[in-house]
């Protein structure tokens, strides 16, 4: 075989390999569902909601008599901190990333639902709670919680969402976190939570 056909076949093989590899992973694919699969962010889903990316770090039940968990419940009023019979505290820790060049608003709407249709909205504690997720503006090339904050350097490494849920909902798993885009309420993403 002459060198010209060999070079032509080599060139075709290189182009075919490039096309095949390019199809394997599109970094611009929008991810709107995920399954939480680990502690401390290991294999946590990164969910695209509008122009921001939300990462579920951790989810679990809270024990108000535990020293660490009690810190997560600071800043709640008397009525807010009271659990009704059959209720318990549940937390979700999240990080929010703005990889773009413009400031963007992070959602305040993150609900949890179980398989029976029970839906829970977060309870936002007062400003003394350094772990609480509050949404707000995320600067370009930045994140919530910001680096070097209590929430970012704390045990959960994220901002904390607090929920009062029925104990029965733990039997109606999986629990699902739904994140709604504040700039387009018709757009949302969801992640299955580890309990």
Please state the rounded mean pLDDT for residues 132-146: 95
CA dihedral sign of residues 49, 55, 58, 64: negative
Q: What is the pLDDT of residue 155?
A: 83
User: Structural domains in the chain?
Assistant: 30-192 (2.60.40.1240)
3-state secondary structure 87-107: EEEEEEEEEEEECCCCCEEEC
Q: Is 122 helix (H, G, I), strand (E, B) or coil?
A: coil
Residues 30-56 have a mean pLDDT of: 68
Residue whose structure tokens are 């937390």: 91
Q: What is the pLDDT of residues 12-29, one digit of tens each?
A: 343 333 333 333 333 344
Residue pLDDT, tens place only, 64-107: 999 989 999 999 999 999 999 999 999 999 999 999 999 999 99
- Distance set, CA 12 to CA 43, 84, 138 (Å): 37, 69, 46
- Calpha distance 23→21 (Å, rounded): 5
Q: Residue 161's closest CA among 89, 97, 100, 106?
A: 89
Q: Which residue has the higher pLDDT, 193 or 38?
A: 193
Q: How far apart are CA 137 and CA 143, in angstroms?
A: 10
């Amino acid at each position: 075989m002459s060198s010209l056909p060999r070079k032509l076949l080599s060139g075709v093989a290189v182009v075919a390999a490039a096309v095949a590899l390019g199809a394997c992973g599109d970094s611009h694919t929008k991810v709107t569902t995920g399954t939480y699969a680990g502690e401390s962010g290991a294999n946590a889903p990164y969910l695209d909601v509008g122009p921001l990316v939300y990462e579920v770090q951790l989810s679990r039940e809270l024990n108000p008599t535990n020293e660490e968990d009690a810190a997560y419940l600071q800043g709640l009023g008397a009525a807010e901190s009271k659990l009704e019979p059959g209720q318990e505290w549940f937390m979700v820790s999240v990080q929010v990333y703005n990889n773009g060049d413009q400031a963007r608003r992070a959602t305040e709407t993150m609900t949890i639902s179980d398989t029976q249709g029970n839906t829970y909205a977060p309870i936002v504690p007062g400003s003394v709670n350094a772990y609480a997720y509050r949404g707000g503006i995320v600067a370009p090339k930045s994140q919530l919680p910001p680096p070097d904050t209590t929430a970012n350097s704390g045990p959960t490494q994220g901002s904390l969402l607090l929920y009062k849920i029925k104990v029965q909902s733990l039997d109606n798993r999986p629990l699902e976190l739904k994140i709604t885009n504040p700039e387009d309420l018709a757009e949302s993403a969801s992640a299955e939570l580890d309990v």
